Amino acid sequence: MRSFIVVALFSLGLSITVDGQTLSGTVVNAQRTPLNAVTVSVPALHRYGVTDSGGHFRFTNIPHGTFAVEFSIIGYRDMTYIVACNGDSTYVGATLSISPLIIPSLI
């Protein structure tokens, strides 16, 4: 009986690993310059990350489905892309546009 439970649990874990996929991409500005330190999130999955110096991000073990992927960094407009994750990997190329900072006067 114990060996059956161990095999069943191992099979379940293997199934979860096979179903997971990769969601990756690159974030650039309007001039196609990669953006470093952009916060990238998939709120429905409680997954968060930050782009590297080349503007790249990567999430692993993403389940199949359609998700909102949010991008934010100070000085640029926040963007949300709706992404369908249905294969082994999904790529998102995001372009952020500049948003001026408005600082209210103190007088």
pLDDT tens track for 62-92: 999 999 999 999 999 999 999 999 989 999 9
Q: What predicted TM-score, i.e. pTM, was given to this entire model?
A: 0.76
Cβ proximity of 28 and 64 under 8 Å: no
Q: How confident is the model at residue 106 (pLDDT cuts 50, 70, 90)?
A: confident
